[in-house]
């Protein structure tokens, strides 16, 4: 009787592990995670770069929020799910007003992707 109970428990644990290992997951990726604006002029106003994000997983990717490291950086993104193999865009605008010199800003992309947070960077020099 104990042997039967032991075998049943082992089978249930095995099924649970197999199910977990086969779970589909979204994976966020990008060919370009950093953009260098080079030298920009403060008088010219904001500059913008578009990052292309790809779902390389096998489940829909949902970007829940995108947060910049500074109020001078404004990200815009779609909350529509990204199907496996498909892409979406994140537009990042940087306002150089009153910020002469070198800058490096990070943009944290939060999603249901395998790693949770994905980081993008912009940099440049303001004259």
Query: For the chain, what are the domain ranges?
Result: 25-126
Sheet holding 47-55, edge to edge: 28-29, 47-55, 87-94, 73-77
Between the alpha carbon of residue 3 and those of residues 7, 13, 16, the distances in Å are: 6, 15, 20
The pTM is what?
0.81
Strand partners, 55: 28
* Count of other CB atoms within 10 angstroms of residue 122: 24
Provide the residue-wise pLDDT of the chain in tens; the chain has 127 residues.
Answer: 666 655 556 555 655 554 555 689 999 999 999 999 999 999 999 999 999 999 999 999 999 999 999 999 999 999 999 999 999 999 999 999 999 999 999 999 999 999 889 999 999 999 9
Architecture of domain 25-126: Sandwich (2.60)
């Amino acid at each position: 009787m104990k042997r039967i109970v032991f075998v049943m428990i082992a089978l249930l644990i095995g099924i649970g592990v197999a199910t977990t290992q086969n779970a589909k997951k979204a994976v966020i990726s990008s060919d370009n995670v950093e953009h260098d604006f080079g030298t920009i002029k403060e008088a010219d106003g904001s500059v913008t770069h578009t990052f292309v994000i790809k779902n390389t997983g096998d489940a829909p990717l949902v970007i829940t929020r995108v947060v910049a490291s500074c109020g001078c950086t404004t990200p815009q993104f779609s909350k529509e799910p990204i199907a496996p193999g498909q892409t979406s865009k994140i537009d990042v605008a940087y306002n150089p007003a009153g910020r002469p010199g070198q800058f490096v800003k990070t943009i944290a992309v939060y999603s249901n992707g395998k790693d949770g947070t994905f980081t993008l960077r912009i940099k440049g020099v303001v004259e």
